[in-house]
């Protein structure tokens, strides 16, 4: 006679087959091979509130193998978080069950996954956030596990190993990853593409590694208990499984990875699994057994709330930190430092001064640099607050090492967890390494802060490998990503305020290596609030301008100097953020850039193409559409024509009426 766990696993597999078949699209094989582990985890181990999928102290489960989404949806249905109609609308327009899990759509989904390896890395971010908050708030308020389910493909992506190295170093003992090692991927057996001994690799990365038969329920339970007993090391449970386990004739076939099973195969498989030949079958006894512990889960969540409420009343320090951890970002109150007008200061240096000035009043601000602490101006933050993991879990600096992609994905996980304000820094040219995780920040509505220094050819002698050309323009193509390229120290502070108070959009801060003059707010009063609208009139003229010069970042000072070379009426517009300006009402955009004023020019030390959106098809753009060279920054600036005299010459050649 079939026991209840076997029956529940069979029902979950039936939902997987039926959902994929009805959609005529999806990935049944891996979901079926992972079903034993995931069903036992959800039904016996996972702590959550059946009435509140967003309960703060819940265990987190991240399906890194996002293509196995029907497995997760089946379990979320048993949790009561989504309906059977949702299951039946798998992969359909407007449904709560898209092809890959999306965090903003579906209750119980913790992260948007699909790009392999990133769910694994995000789970490290979740676990890091939990460890840090537990160390500072206490176990009464924060004490949960982070579980992830990874596939062969996840571990083939190098981001997973980069993140795993940090998880081991950081002693993330409450991170448990189940590796569904079914040894099959879309193109066939994994042996054609991989020979990695993951047990040796992960033990070398300071993980506890447990190998089990991934279909042996008692072995799975024992592995999960052993993982939860290990306080210091993260745990990798390697589950040796069979692709499409339970299928009538296709067990082990790579054809089941990305194709629906045929009707006759589904019927034969259901018979083999002891299921009736009906679609979307969930019997009452399975549902009752699965939900038998729900009352105790509710009681645990209520008891947690009682403990937190008592601590809020009794402990002022806890209450203050709790307020920071739970306060909506737009409500943050931040006092930024003042800067001396006329002083020469790189905007990366201004960022460092801002960070040092506000980090004490923003206790949940955490982050670090990809091994560029002095260059990224995070060294004082690091020495003040210590290195997370190495100096304990209360430390606030994250020493990511040379791991830009894992850094970005880990920040996404920390932001998804909640309670912290994460930032990460590197050179702008290395944003390419971060790019897909940045895209995932935007896709998941995560207000993560990316700090990119050394933003142009002014990097100088390091040469073209380190001199970004296309990067700012390229990042501006990502929907819902806020680009912030400040003109001076004052704009840098405003841009940081914009980024940290964002409720949902990630921000990229583009900062100079070279010194720029600090503009005087008394002379340019619009600099105080103007950046919040993306672009604003920095310097104006009497009446309607004859010429509008637009610039971002380091080229704003160049624009001001160029304007002084004309005896005509010139308006200078600073545009730190094209995204924020584009989002403004048409009336404001026309106020800043009057449509009837067609003589326009723009300057930015990067690709020119996107600027024609603002200056017109025939407008003048001073930029760079080729790679740089190894030479001092000033030499390159002169050589590439980034001088007031050359910029003015280009404008006069185009608009003869301005001569």
**Annotated binding-site positions for substrate:** 27, 257, 348, 375, 454, 462, 466, 513
* Cα–Cα–Cα angle for 508, 513, 516, rounded to 5 degrees: 100
Angle between helices 316-326 and 294-314 (to 10 degrees): 120
User: Residue ranges for the binding site?
Assistant: 27, 67, 114-116, 152-153, 182, 184, 257, 348, 375, 430, 454, 462, 466, 513
User: Residue ranges for the binding site for Mg(2+)?
Assistant: 152, 182, 184
Integer-rounded Cα Rg, in Å, for the chain is 28
Gap between the Cα atoms of 136 and 473, Å rounded: 40
Gap between the Cα atoms of 481 and 500, Å rounded: 14
The SS3 assignment for 239 reads strand
Gap between the Cα atoms of 575 and 634, Å rounded: 23
Angle between helices 404-417 and 118-137 (to 10 degrees): 50
DSSP class of residue 262 equals: P
* Of 399, 484, 488, nearest in space to 450 by CA: 484
Structure tokens that stand for 575 in this block:
């545009």
User: Residue ranges for the binding site for thiamine diphosphate?
Assistant: 67, 114-116, 153, 182, 257, 430
* Catalytic residue list contains 404: yes
DSSP class of residue 389 equals: B
State CA 234 to chain mean position distance. 22
**Residues counted in the chain:** 659
The partner residues of 602 in beta bridges, in order of sequence, read 550, 621
DSSP class of residue 337 equals: P
The SS3 assignment for 151 reads strand
Structure tokens that stand for 551 in this block:
């610039």
The residue behind tokens 């720029």 is 516
**In terms of C-beta density within 10 A (0-12 exposed, 13-18 middle, 19 or more buried), how is residue 264 classed?**
exposed
Phi, psi of 575 (to 5 degrees): -125, 80
Gap between the Cα atoms of 329 and 498, Å rounded: 10
Catalytic residue, candidates 130, 404, 491, 604: 404
The partner residues of 574 in beta bridges, in order of sequence, read 536, 551
Phi, psi of 249 (to 5 degrees): -130, -5
Element (H, E) at 68: none
Phi, psi of 213 (to 5 degrees): -75, 115
The SS3 assignment for 607 reads coil
Gap between the Cα atoms of 64 and 72, Å rounded: 11
The residues carrying an active-site annotation are 404
């Amino acid at each position: 006679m079939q026991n209840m766990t076997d029956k529940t696993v069979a029902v979950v597999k039936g939902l997987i087959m039926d959902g994929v078949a009805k959609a005529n699209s999806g990935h049944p094989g891996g979901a079926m091979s992972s079903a034993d582990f995931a069903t036992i985890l959800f039904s016996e181990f996972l702590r959550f509130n059946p009435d509140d999928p967003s309960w703060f102290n819940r265990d987190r489960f991240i399906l890194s193998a996002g293509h196995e989404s029907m497995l997760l949806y089946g379990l979320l249905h048993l949790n009561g978080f989504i309906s059977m109609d949702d299951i039946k609308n798998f992969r359909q327009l407007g449904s709560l069950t898209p092809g890959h899990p999306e965090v903003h759509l579906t209750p119980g989904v913790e992260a948007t996954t699909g790009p392999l390896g990133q769910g694994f890395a995000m789970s490290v971010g979740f676990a890091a956030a939990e460890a840090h908050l537990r160390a500072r708030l206490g176990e009464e308020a924060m004490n949960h596990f982070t579980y992830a389910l990874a596939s062969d493909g996840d571990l083939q992506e190098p981001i997973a190993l980069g993140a795993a190295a940090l998880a081991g170093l950081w002693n993330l003992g409450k991170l448990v990853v189940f590796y569904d090692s079914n040894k099959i991927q879309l193109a066939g057996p994994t042996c054609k593409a991989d020979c990695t001994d993951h047990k040796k690799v992960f033990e070398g990365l300071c993980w506890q590694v447990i190998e089990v038969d991934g279909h042996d329920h008692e072995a799975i339970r024992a592995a999960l208990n052993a993982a939860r007993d290990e306080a210091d090391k993260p745990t990798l449970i390697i589950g040796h499984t069979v692709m499409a386990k339970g299928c009538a004739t296709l067990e082990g076939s790579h054809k089941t990875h990305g194709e629906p099973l045929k009707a006759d195969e589904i019927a034969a498989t259901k018979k083999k699994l002891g299921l009736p030949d009906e679609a979307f079958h969930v019997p009452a006894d399975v549902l009752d057994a699965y939900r038998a512990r729900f009352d105790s889960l509710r009681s645990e969540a209520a008891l947690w709330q009682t403990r937190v409420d008592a601590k809020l009343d009794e402990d002022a320090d806890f209450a203050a930190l709790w307020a920071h951890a739970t306060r909506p970002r737009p409500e943050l109150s931040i006092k930024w430092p003042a800067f001396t007008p006329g002083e020469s200061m790189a905007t990366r240096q201004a960022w460092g001064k801002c960070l040092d000035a506000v980090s004490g009043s923003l206790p949940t601000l955490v982050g670090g640099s990809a091994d560029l602490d002095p260059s990224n101006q995070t060294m004082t933050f690091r020495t003040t607050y210590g290195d997370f993991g190495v100096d304990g879990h209360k430390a606030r600096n994250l020493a990511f090492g040379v791991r830009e992609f894992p850094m970005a994905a880990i920040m996404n996980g920390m932001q998804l967890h909640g309670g912290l304000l994460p930032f990460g820094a590197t050179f702008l040219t290395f944003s390419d390494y971060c790019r897909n995780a940045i895209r995932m920040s935007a896709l998941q509505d995560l207000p993560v802060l990316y700090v990119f220094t050394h933003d142009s050819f002014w990097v100088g002698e390091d040469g073209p490998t380190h001199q970004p050309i296309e990067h700012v323009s390229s990042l501006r193509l990502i929907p819902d990503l806020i680009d912030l390229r400040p003109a001076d120290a004052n704009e840098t502070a405003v841009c940081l305020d914009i980024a940290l108070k964002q409720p949902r959009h990630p921000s990229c801060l583009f900062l100079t290596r070279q010194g720029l003059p600090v503009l005087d707010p008394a002379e340019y009063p619009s600099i105080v609030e103007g950046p919040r609208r993306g672009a604003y009139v920095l310097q104006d003229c009497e009446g309607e301008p004859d010429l509008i010069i637009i610039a971002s970042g380091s080229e704003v000072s160049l624009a001001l100097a160029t304007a002084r070379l004309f005896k005509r009426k010139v308006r200078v517009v600073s545009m730190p953020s094209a995204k924020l300006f584009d989002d403004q009402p048409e009336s404001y955009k026309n106020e800043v850039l009057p449509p009837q004023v067609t003589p326009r020019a723009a300057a930015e030390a990067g690709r020119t193409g996107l600027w024609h959106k603002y200056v017109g098809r025939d407008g003048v753009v001073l930029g760079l559409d080729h790679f740089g060279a190894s030479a001092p920054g000033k030499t390159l600036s002169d050589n590439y024509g980034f001088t007031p005299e050359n910029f003015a010459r280009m404008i006069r050649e185009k608009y003869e009426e301005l001569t």
